[in-house]
Each structure stands twice: as structure tokens, then as C-alpha cells.
Amino acid sequence: MLTVAARNAAASRQLKEELLASPRGYAWSNLLLCIRARGALDESAARAAWQEIVRRHDCFRTSLRREGEHVIQLVADEVEAPLTVQDLAGQTEGRRRARRVGRLLEQIVRQPLALTKAPMARAALVRLGPCESLLCWGIAHTIMDGVSWNLFTAEFILLYGGFAASERRLLPPPSFRLADLAMHEQSAPDQSTLAYWRRQLGGASPAIALPATDCAAKRHGYEMAIAELEPIAAGYGRKLRTIAKGSVGGTLAGAAVSATACALSAYTGQHEIVLALCHANRTREPNSAGIGCLIDYLPLRIDLSDEYTFRELVAGVGATMHEARAHESPCCHLEPLLGGACDVMFNFVYRPPHLANSHLGSTHGVKFDAFTSHTWHHSFPAERMSWEAKLDINIHVSASYGLSGNLAWNAAALDSKTVRALAPAIRFALRWSAVDPDQQIGRLIARVAGRSIDH
């Protein structure tokens, strides 16, 4: 059995709180992965492929254990990976069956997964008919991120084809291991990279002024509260994308970050905002091929002076994001440089609409497609499943047909009534920046603060 330390200080604090709060398991950050299989799916081959993935990747053989003030990751040599079967083949097609499928998916993702027992995942095969099935996984975000899904599905399909043909395909051993990642993040930081971050963060503004609860000093831990961002029509998303493409180095993510920073400035009165930008952490080898939870955070310092327009701000934020990713470093190395100036996390996800039910591959007479069920998607948005306990406020914006997302915060420390007002302010900033991208930043912030637009 291999023992490694938790990935970083922020993760260690989060995991310790989770173990203390719910030692038998938790569900609020579980991820749901679904694949539709069209054809005569071989149940034994699917079961064997899932077991082989667990054998190959140590994230699925990982459990957590508290040792004093520390949280330790334990990687077992072998773990049993069950696959439960639900048969809905007798159900007639239509809304009733769709609702039944939705309830099953919610059950898979909502049931708590114990952090102290591997695998922190459950798998199910849902039979919809003789030639149609769903393969579903509920996986703790602690061990897997969204970037891993493409790698996971590709490997599962390849392994399934081999087992269905009665031949075990010997894939090369994974180049990524949790122990290597832990050793890298616990090693001495690169001095040239640290010098870049000292220049970027030197003299940064203090932490964003977050309104505390009246009894915050008496409360401890993390109590999550969520406010949904009312969806914004696709037209505004297209306008923001056009603005970003017209800016040197601009991206849709940069445009969303810029608008959110303006909302925070209007809310707090601060003209310099430091956000923790969620990133995939896949640029350094062998991370690019890693299945696991590799996501990390980079501090992003944004100047919101009244000297330039929103369009220029998008270009500047895009350039800063590009530089930050080129100098990415584990957040545990950067925390001493922040001095508490980074309490707000921003996560942007782009989901191309045409990929919602895209073809993943075919093998041994079975066609595999990505599966999106609107029945469960609207009642239990994927954004709610993100692990959101690292920082005090977490802002998630997702772009697909339009813009949507949510705002999550620590209700044990922050005043919920005032923080909840941030959600419509962020939505307003996203809309108004798309309507008038050439306005001065100061005017946009004033508009957000005064809401001088007809909703």
C-alpha cells in the first residue's frame, strides 16, 4: 500500500473539514458521467473494462484517512469495482421512462460516497432495451475532474472492445501517478516561476471585502449555500465571444472573468481584484494524460481603473491569463505570496452545444455516444456538483447555448443576504458588457452598482 500526502494545503484543509463533517460520505460534489450504448452491449465486457480502469488508475483505488491534523491519501493495490444493473427494457418509451431514467441518474449522483473507502465512485448499467443501454458513473470530484472524462471514456471503449472480443488488450501503464504529482507539489518551487509571481502579486490589494456573519467569529467549518445565476440568452454569449475574438489574446473565459471582476468592484468599491482562476493543470507532463483530480488555482490580479474600455480590459485579462498559465505553479507554492488577498474563486466551463450528445466511438457492434438527459440536468445542474469548499466565494459560469452558472459561498462565515445579491449583479455585468463593450470601465461598474438598465 502506497501512502502519499494530500495534494496541497488548501485541499488538505478542505478534505479534513469534509471528513469531520460527514465521515460516512458526502454527495454535494459528486460528478455524473453517462455514456449511451447503441447495440447489443456485453454486460460482462463492460464490467471487466470498468474493473480494469480501476486497476490501472490509482485515483480509483484512493481513500482518505485522518492522521492527527493531516489528511492522508491511501492508494490500495487492489479494489473491487462493482457494476449494478437496472433493467428498464419493459418500460414504454416516452415521458414516464425519461422521468424514471432521470430519477436513477439523480440517485446515482446524489447518494453519498464515503471518502474513507475506495473506490470513491459507483457504476451502473441501465438497460433501456435489447439494443440500447446507459453506462453511468457517480464519481467524487475529489478523485476526478471534468478534463479526465475524455480520457476515461476513450480508455473504457478501447478496453470494452478487447473484452467483448475475448482478448485482454494490454495497454501501456499510465504515465501519471498520484505519488509523482504529490512529490512535485511538495518539492522546492522553481525560483524563476516564483520571481514572476512576486512581480505579479507584489503590492496587491488586500482581500476582497466580504461581508461576515454577525457570529462568524463563533462559527467554524464550511456550510455551503448556493444562488443560481439566472440564465442569459445565447445572444449575449455570442456577443461576448465576438468581443473576445476581436481582442488580441481575448477569450470568452477572459470576457466572463472581466465582467465578473467589474461586478465584484461595484459590490465592494475596490478597483483592484484578485481572483483564484481554476485551471486544468495539464500543461506539464505527464499531467496531460492523467486521469484524476488535477485541477488547481492560479491567482489573477485585475486592474479596474477607469483608463480603458471593457474591450481593452478583456484583451488585458486574456494576456494575463496566458502569462499565468505559462508560469503555472502549485497553489501551495503561491499561497505565501498572496497574504490572504485571494478569497474568491472563478471557474469557467465552455460546453459546445454540438458535443452534448456527440459520438465517442464504436467497437464490437456497439456505438457509444455522450449522453445528456435534460430531465436530470435541469433539476440537478452539473455546476452544483463542483467541489466548492476551498475559498469563501466560488463563482461558476458555464457557456453552451447561453450563459448560466451559480454562486456558492461559505454561509458559516459570510452574510448570506448580502452575498446572494452578487448573483444578479454578475448576471447584469455579463449582459451589459456584451451590450456596450466600448464603454469605460468606471461607467460599467457604476451601472452595475446602480442597475441603471431595464431588466
Identify the CATH homologous superfamily for domain 2-179: Chloramphenicol acetyltransferase-like domain (3.30.559.10)
Distance from C-alpha of 133 to C-alpha of 131, rounded to nearest angstrom: 7
Distance from C-alpha of 165 to C-alpha of 158, rounded to nearest angstrom: 11
pLDDT at 454 over 60: no
Question: In the predicted model, what is the mean pLDDT of residues 354-368?
Answer: 78
pLDDT at 423 over 60: yes
Domain(s) of CATH 3.30.559.10: residues in the chain: 2-179
368 CB-near residues (< 8 Å, 6+ apart) = 35, 36, 37, 38, 153, 157, 359, 360, 361, 362
Alpha carbon separation from 236 to 257, 276, 402, 442 (Å, rounded): 15, 25, 7, 21
125 CB-near residues (< 8 Å, 6+ apart) = 41, 43, 46, 83, 84, 85, 86, 133, 134, 135, 136
The model's pTM is: 0.80
pLDDT, residue 135, reads 95
H or E element: which one contains 105? helix 95-110
| Percentage of the chain lying above the pLDDT 90 cut | 22
pLDDT digits 0-9 by tens, 11-69: 444 555 555 455 555 555 688 889 999 999 999 999 999 999 999 999 999 988 877 77
Question: Which cell numbers in the block locate residue 380?
Answer: 440537478
Q: Which of 281-295, 312-326, 341-355 has the lowest mean pLDDT?
A: 341-355
Domain(s) of CATH 3.30.559.30: residues in the chain: 203-343+391-450
Pairing mode, if any, of strands 2-5 and 70-75?
Answer: antiparallel
pLDDT, residue 368, reads 94
pLDDT, residue 93, reads 67
Q: CATH assignment of 203-343+391-450? A: 3.30.559.30
pLDDT at 104 over 90: no
